[in-house]
Chain A
Amino acid sequence: MKTFAELEAIRKKAQKDVRLRSGSGDVRVVVGMDNCGIEAGARQITIALMDEINKHNLQDVTVTQTECLGACRLEPMLELYEGEKKTTYVKLTPELARQIVTEHLVNGKTLKSQTIGVFER
């Protein structure tokens, strides 16, 4: 470190690393991760999500898991919270998970084909 500008640059990067400790951000991606979810491949979904989020350097997205979301036949599935708004995506593959990141989180477009509504109908 040689200058104050460098210090500030380091701070910006470091703040990203510790963001989690101030709790969840506004955007939360919650993956169903009970035994049923794991069985259906939820772990791979999480890994794909994390990888893609990291690639796009999304600062304010928290990835967490939760218990069975209650629709085991639609696993692996996730709930995406943006403030009050919730979108549920079901029957995911790692590839689809990546698309959710690029389409929904980056471009702000719901990936309609995978929402729970489509499958429940």
Chain B
Amino acid sequence: MELYRSHVLVCGSTGCVSSDSLKIIDLFNKELEKHGLEKEIKVVQTGCFGLCEAGPIVIVYPEGSFYSQVKLDDVPRITEEHLLKGLIVHDLTYKEPGKKEASDSIDDMGFYKKQQRVALRNCGVIDPEILKEYIAYDGYAALAKVLTKMSPEEVVETIKASGLRGRGGGGFPTGLKWEFTSKAEGDVKYVACNADEGDPGAFMDRSVLEGDPHTLVESMTIAAYAVGANYGFVYVRAEYPIAVKRLQIAIDQARENDLLGEDILGSGFSFDMEIREGAGAFVCGEETALIQSIEGRRGMPKVRPPFPANKGIFDKPTLLNNVETFANINQIILKGADWFAGIGTEKSKGTKVFALGGKINNTGLLEIPMGTTLQETIFEVGGGIPNGKAFKAVQTGGPSGGCIPAEHLDTPIDYENLIALGSMMGSGGMIVMDEDNCMVDVARFFLDFTEEESCGKCTPCREGIKRMHELLDKITEGKGKLQDVDKLETLAKTIKKASLCGLGQTAPNPVLSTIRYFRYEYEAHVNEKMCPAGVCQALLQFLVIPEKCKKCGICAAKCPVNCISGVKGKEVYLIDQAKCIKCGACLEACPFDAIKKG
């Protein structure tokens, strides 16, 4: 066995791979060889570190030095200075927004300080393609415990006592789901994992699959033991090729090592599983649609009851949890239900992973205890809003979540609180908006998505979201009336009440919540024909400020439609509003700030 004095961890997840982290790994290996260090220092390809904003990320242990936005050119320097001589390259390590000095160690970084990593514990720590690394971090210890020391009933009771709730959106108590499936009658039962992460911007499930795939294999095996299933399906979207590949490697490794298949480690319990790739329909994240898709049918939701626990895949009792939910299971088994129940709030236990995006400094994945406030999440872990702009709203829960305004930032995050604010936990998307975002436009943007992703089965969702979208189009184009806002509200309520599945029942949330908290913006659009944030193109006007105009003519020269007239050096320039296409070229071109947008 070789002993290394240093480990160089390079993120090999989708985000960093897309900015060439695999080439960085190759180059590190070449450089190490060049300096004769290859036997002392090991390069490890890991899963996601979470701080995707700073990718590609390289962490050097034992120091824990966090190198961010590493370019290929930086690799020889890091090798020579840090790996050879032990000198941390300070100008390449991550500097947190608002701080003068770069952080030398990952332990000092604000992004990680408030986090508590349970589901993501191994992401960015282990090489996901090496089983031994997973085992080193207590991998398969929970399975061993369950198969040797616990009865299926005890496992179900433990999960129930932990208070874990579904992390895919609904927040249904996981232990109850397990209990229902274990008690359901059927000769054949299935365990299925929902890895069809469809929320735009959410990638916690992908991160677990890419960074720690064995955790899913292990947890699903535990679940199968608990409910009495012997076969499992993982439904992953085909747009996640790295995740699919790594999960398949994990399944194969587990099979080769008797951790999966017939008679697992001599326990007498058998369980095997397969991956089913989905074609990328958002609605297939809905459990009944997902089951239809696994069965080879068009992914369309079905009426419940019967619930999957009684009639799921091929009409057999099926336990269906999402990736993040499963990723908590092994830790609950190992550390106990009390440990897990000790984290979080009264009704929402444990931690939750959020995908932070939008107008935020630390774009990426973070895992925080339930009950952390939105304020802490956005301003401490997330590092606040870039460019000194003011916070306006945060949208939680993916495209069907609601927008929460600044006055509710002190709300502790949990399932109930978010619903009370007109939003939801969803799978954990968190999009931050600043003063430059128009809330009507934001609502329209999300409906654009849900309109296209509606499966088309039920009338309110298929037809209703389209009409809501059209009404919003009308308003943002300055053609809206006050009645249209009322119409939006009543239609939204019918869609919520009468739709078949969660997609339709939640799709109007962005509209309802923005009307609730930002009604004045809607009213400005319809009454004053004005977009307060200056986003809606049709409502913009570009005007020359006569007092500031130096009659230079640069704006007229830049205008692509020749709608600016004036005489160079003699006459103040004027924009013909009828011809103006509102491209903003004049505004950018004017050297004297003599053109305003309003």
Contact = CB atoms under 8 A, between A and B. Distances in A.
B36 A43 contact: yes
A43 B40 CA distance: 11
B4 A20 contact: yes
B265 A20 contact: no
A7 B86 contact: no
A118 B36 CA distance: 33
Interface stretch (B134-142, B161-169, B371-379, B456-464): B134-142
Interface string A15-36: 1111011011100001101110
Contacts of A30: 86
Among B86, B147, B259, B266: residue with most chain A CB under 10 A: B86
Q: Determine chain A's interface SS by DSSP, over half rule.
A: helix
A110 interface: no
A13 interface: yes
B545 to A, nearest CB: 58
- Bin chain B's interface residue count: 35 or more
Contacts of B541: none
Interface in B73-123: 84-87, 107
Nearest to B138: A11
Given A20-B61, A64-B86, A1 B5 contact: no
B582 interface: no
Nearest to B35: A43
Contacts of A96: none
Contact of B62 (A3, A20, A38, A67): A20
A80 interface: no
Contact of A1 (B64, B126, B259): B259
B144 A23 contact: no
A2 B265 contact: yes
Interface residues of A, number: 38
Most-contacted residue by chain B among A1, A13, A21 (CB, 10 A): A21
Nearest to A64: B86
Nearest to B40: A50
A7 B135 contact: yes
A67 B6 contact: no
A61 B246 CA distance: 33
A53 B1 CA distance: 12
B137 A2 contact: no
A66 B62 CA distance: 13
Given A21-B61, A62-B5, A34 B135 contact: no
B436 interface: no
Contacts of B1: 13, 16-17, 54
B137 A18 contact: yes
Given A7-B265, A17-B132, A20-B4, A65 B85 contact: yes
A38 to B, nearest CB: 7
B148 interface: yes
Nearest to A53: B3
Nearest to A62: B62
Contacts of A2: 258, 265-266
Interface string A39-77: 000010011001001100000001111110000000000
Interface of A: 1-4, 7-8, 10-11, 13-18, 20-21, 23-25, 30-31, 33-35, 37-38, 43, 46-47, 50, 53-54, 62-67
Interface of B: 1-7, 9, 36, 39-40, 61-64, 84-87, 107, 125-126, 132-133, 135-141, 144, 147-148, 257-259, 265-266
Complex A-B, nearest 10 residue pairs according to Cβ-Cβ distance, in ascending order: A65-B86, A14-B136, A54-B3, A63-B5, A14-B132, A1-B257, A24-B62, A33-B85, A66-B86, A18-B136
19 contacts: A1-B265, A3-B266, A4-B266, A7-B135, A7-B140, A7-B144, A11-B139, A17-B136, A18-B125, A18-B137, A20-B5, A21-B62, A23-B64, A24-B62, A25-B62, A33-B86, A34-B87, A64-B86, A67-B87
